[in-house]
A and B are shown apart, each in its own frame.
Chain A
Amino acid sequence: MMSGSRSAGLRQARVRTAWLFLAPSLLVLTGVALWPLGRTFLFSFTDALLTEPDFYSYVGFDNYRALFEDPLWWQSVRNTLYFTVISVSIETVLGLTIALLLNSHIAGRGVMRAIILIPWSIPVVVSARMWQWMLHDQFGIVNHVLKLAGLIETGVAWTANSALVMPVIIAVDVWITTPFMVLLILAGLSMLPRGIYEAASIDGVPAWKQFTSLTLPLLAPSIAVAVLFRLLDALRMFDLSYVLSSNSDDTKTVSIYAREVLVNFQDMGVGSAASTAVFLMIALVTAIYVTVFRLNRRLMGV
């Protein structure tokens, strides 16, 4: 009886402690994420200006109408989706290949793992500037080498040519983020059971068959999670396009579009509507992806 009420008291004290320890974090998360998200949503139905956000009136869906009638918005959506699909696909295939390569037991793979971490860990701005210089039309090393090899006669304007700038941005993104893919897939590879490979080898299953019928299905969940992380990242891409080809409509992403309307045109209403649309777009893609992924898992019986 005594101990019962004492432990109940203890439990209550523990629950109080939990809320006390959580309070600062919850306060900060509310201030930095939940409240701003709600305010952005609210602003998207107003005619507020960035310079005087306190004076506004509600305008219903006018901002969304303006947004959806702007061809540049739809081009940004297309650019973003194109960039996301192509770059994430290349990164996944390349990441898987390099991960399998690094997974072989061979001297020097520790050094390789350290090396491939570097492009991922430096600022995207620096990577963009670095490639901008290498791709410079007059003095860049890429054009220099291509000229030496006799492939081109005059320097290619890689980031000024509207047909080339998106492929260039995708190529630089592949350089930056393939390491991330490699590391996540490597982590997945290290969790695969060794025993089945020995059994398969003894049974004389050829190496490529081991890959398609053992490695790939077992690795699928790890790859799926890595791809989800990359998708979320690619859909909100900002830095790379902004630095490498600022103001080019050919590579304008939805994030750049929304910030431009908000900050450069000071139009808080339409800017917030664009932000909200980006939020909904990413939420939708995530929801679809997670649903499909779960379906896959069930189908595979994992």
Chain B
Amino acid sequence: MVRSNTGRRLHRIAIYALFGIVALYTLFPFYWMIASSLKSGQAIFDVTFLPDLKFNNYQAILSDGVFLRSLLNSLIVAFSVVALSLLLAVGAAYALGRIDFRGRSPIMLLVLAVSMFPQIALLSGLFEMIRWLGLYNTIGSLIFAYMIFTLPFNIWVLTTFMRDLPKQIEEAAIMDGCSPLRIVRCIFLPMMGPALISTGLLAFIASWNEFMFALTFILTDENRTVPVAIALISGSSRYEFPYGAIMAASTIVTVPLIVLALLFQKHIVSGLTAGAVKG
């Protein structure tokens, strides 16, 4: 098909116009969030498209010990969940991906089924378990509970990754009598960089964003994570008209994720599609 030059140019213009619409639709709410967070006092009531560049809302929210505390809690929870779920999943993936044993397929099926459990279906049983473990109203309860959506996914993705590595790479090490722990550490871990980054990032994002468990298993303000803290900011309590503070808090919580999304776009997408296409 030979198309004329003007036709091709029109086609390009149309595509870029659509790009523009999609970008505007996607990004404008963020712009508005940041612009609103930078307006102080009464200015938030005026719809002006340019921000004031006043940092009062940030000062207010950051001098509030409770918000800083929830930020710290969220960081501790997210990093612990990433570390713990990866540690457990690498071991499980080595067993499931590299060793042929009876019970392998049922366990894979179990892992897949667990990854589909709706969180609400576990709530009362998990509540009891967390109380029994003495974790109620501690961030430990969230680190434990978040294993439900990070561990099965990580096991699944890392297993398919390990299974696709060539057989020969560990044969010599096995013959030399290397311990399995050493094989995983010295042979597999160095090769698994991309897969670990993908699964780790997705686990981080999921834990950073989780709301229902954080709302249910934490009772007092100082143990909350940021999504719940932001959901609970309301006019009746500490802030008169809360949206300036809410937008400032939201911006603070969102910026690290936007940076992660832009820096590691390829890793996040490959993790997502590995989970979906092979799962």
A180 on interface, CB distance cutoff 8 Å: yes
Interface size class of A (residues with CB under 8 A): 35 or more
Answer whether residue B27 sits at the interface, using C-beta atoms and an 8 A cutoff.
yes
Min distance, Cβ A247 to any Cβ of chain B, angstroms: 13
| Chain B contact residues: helix, strand, loop or mixed | helix
B277 touches A15 (CB 8 A): no
Q: Which residue on A lies nearest to B23, using beta carbons?
A: A115
* Bound complex: CA A272 to CA B126 (Å): 11
Determine the distance from Cα of A17 to Cα of B131 in the docked complex, in whole angstroms.
Answer: 33
Is A288 at the interface (CB under 8 A from chain B)?
no
Give the distance in Å from the alpha carbon of A278 to the alpha carbon of B261 in the complex: 33
- Complex CA distance for A36 and B141, rounded to whole angstroms: 14
**Other-chain residue from B33, B92, B254 in contact with A21 (beta carbon distance below 8 A):** B92
Is B107 located at the chain interface by the 8 A CB criterion?
A: yes
Q: Which residues of chain A are near B45, meaning CB under 8 Å? A: 139
- Alpha-carbon separation in the docked complex, A124 to B253 (Å): 12
User: Is A167 engaged at the interface, CB distance under 8 Å to the other chain?
Assistant: no
A125–B212 alpha-carbon span in the complex (Å):
10
Contact A258 B120 (CB under 8 A): yes
Question: Is the CB–CB distance between A238 and B212 below 8 Å?
Answer: yes
Q: Across the two chains, which residue of chain B brings its CB closest to A104? A: B15
Pick from A24-32, A65-73, A158-166 the stretch touching chain B.
Answer: A24-32
**Do A39 and B47 have beta carbons less than 8 Å apart?**
no
B195 within 8 A of A: no
Cβ–Cβ < 8 Å partners of A279 in chain B: 117-118, 120-121
B44/A175 in contact, CB under 8 A: no
| Number of residue pairs A-B, CB distance < 8 angstroms | 277
Asked if A118 is at the interface (CB within 8 A of a chain B CB), the reply is yes
A225 pairs with B89, CB closer than 8 A: no
B174 at interface (Cβ–Cβ under 8 A)? yes
Q: Size range of the interface on B?
A: 35 or more
Q: Could you tell me if B151 and A28 are in contact, using CB atoms closer than 8 angstroms?
A: yes
Q: Does residue A156 face the partner (Cβ distance < 8 Å to B)?
A: no
Once bound together, how far apart are the Cα atoms of A276 and B44, in whole Å?
Answer: 45
Expressed in whole angstroms, the minimum distance between the Cβ of B131 and any Cβ of chain A is 7
**B227 — which chain A residues lie within 8 A by C-beta?**
123-126, 239
Bound CA span A268–B128, Å: 10
Instruction: Given A112-B19, A113-B269, A258-B123, answer yes or no on A118-B92 (Cβ-Cβ < 8 Å).
Output: no
Scan B96-128; emit 1 where CB is below 8 A from any A CB, else 0.
100101101001001100101111111111111
The answer, among B209, B226, B247, B277, for a CB contact under 8 Å with A225, is B277
Min CB–CB distance B155 → chain A (angstroms): 6
A248 → chain B closest CB, angstroms? 15
Determine if B180 and A117 form an interchain contact, defined as CB atoms under 8 angstroms apart.
no
Q: How far is the CB of B275 from chain A (nearest CB, A)?
A: 9
Residues A129 and B174 in contact, CB atoms below 8 Å apart: no
* Alpha-carbon separation in the docked complex, A189 to B42 (Å): 50
Measured between beta carbons, the chain A residues less than 8 angstroms from B200 are none
Residues 112 to 152 of chain A near chain B (Cβ within 8 Å)? 112-119, 121-131, 133-134, 136, 139, 141, 144
B147: shortest Cβ distance to chain A, in Å? 5
- With known contacts A36-B125, A101-B19, A116-B26, A238–B211 Cβ distance under 8 A: yes
Beyond A43-B125, A134-B32, whether A229 also contacts B95 by CB under 8 A is: no
* B interface, CB within 8 angstroms of A: 1, 12, 15-16, 18-19, 22-23, 25-27, 29-30, 32-33, 36, 44-45, 47, 88-89, 91-92, 94-96, 99, 101-102, 104, 107, 110-111, 114, 116-129, 131, 144-145, 147-148, 151-152, 155, 174, 180, 184, 205, 208-209, 211-212, 215-216, 226-228, 230-231, 243, 246-247, 250, 253-254, 257-258, 260-262, 265, 268-269, 272-273, 276-277, 279
Q: List 6 A-B contacts (CB under 8 A).
A: A20-B180, A36-B123, A121-B268, A133-B32, A271-B124, A278-B118
